[in-house]
Structure 1
Amino acid sequence: WLQLDLHFTTEGEQRVFLFQLSNTFYESSGQWWFSVDRVSVSYNTSEEVVFNATDVYAPASSSYRCLHVSSLQRYSGLLLPSTEHAQRWAITFIDFQIQAFNISEGRFSPASDCTTVLTPAILMGLITSLILLLVLAYALHMVVHLKHIEHDDDQKPDIYFPQSPEQLDHCCEESSTGKNVM
């Protein structure tokens, strides 16, 4: 493993960030990957909190970049407190980028970004599109199988429903005289 120490002093107070990195070869991908395993924060050399890092990794030939690497759940909680004391702390790195190996000319290699492919917004958009597509397919199916009204008029028999007994007698007289005439 590799250790990266960052020392900051402001107004006489010293802060030390210690990143513990590891490099592992994965046969399935055929390449080396580095990961951030732990982040330790020391405050005035007397107090230290340790966070275990999850899902902070990239190919060794790349850098890792994320908008927020944090212990807060609203930022995906990539840093998990390792002790009860660490749970009282919150740490967030904004616009975080790190590269453990293969650094050339003091510049980061192309970044492996932490964003997921299926964010909740993208997933809801896909589900909504699928529902709209199904409704459209059903509507097209109904339109294709719709029969035209003028074609149905030729096939329907003429049916007469009289509303009074006089109309019934009148109806039957016309049809019986019509039959005699022919």
Structure 2
Amino acid sequence: MASNTSNPQIDSKLVRELADILKDTELTEIEVEKGELRIRVAKEVHAVAANYAFAPQMPAPMAAPAPAAAAPETPAPAAAADAGAHPGAVKSPMVGTVYLRANPDSEPFKKVGDSVKEGETVLLVEAMKTFNPITAPKAGTIKEFLVDDAQPVEYGEPLFIIA
């Protein structure tokens, strides 16, 4: 917030309203002039450059349901919950879409069995058109990815395991 006036009286209600507008929209900066008073409110934006160009996905064709006796129950949710409890599990800090590579033509950032250093990018989570790097919280080896490329994820969902 900056003011370019000799009049030190700043309308704090106006500043709060401007800040609320920034919070509620995708704007990153607002500037208002009121007589001699000029107020600029801005928020810091962090972005990771990535070059994604995906074709729109078509819905999968619906298949006839298999008979109940032929489809055994699989404990996939329990397996994901167990993986999330692993001490080396790294969880998503946000809701978004996971990308395992910088762009569709690139190699993945990391593969199972690769060594990582603390702070090294392992994957990206795209949220609100911003690509956020998910880094290794410690040095180790990637033991397992618990998500697929372009998969939506929830906050706190386990992404990968480092041991």
Which bin holds the TM-score, normalised by the shorter protein? under 0.3
Computing the radius of gyration over CA atoms, which structure comes out larger, 1 or 2?
Answer: 1
Greater share of helix: 1
Return the structure number with greater relative CO, CA threshold 8 A, min gap 6.
2
In the superposition, the TM-score normalised over structure 2's length comes to 0.22
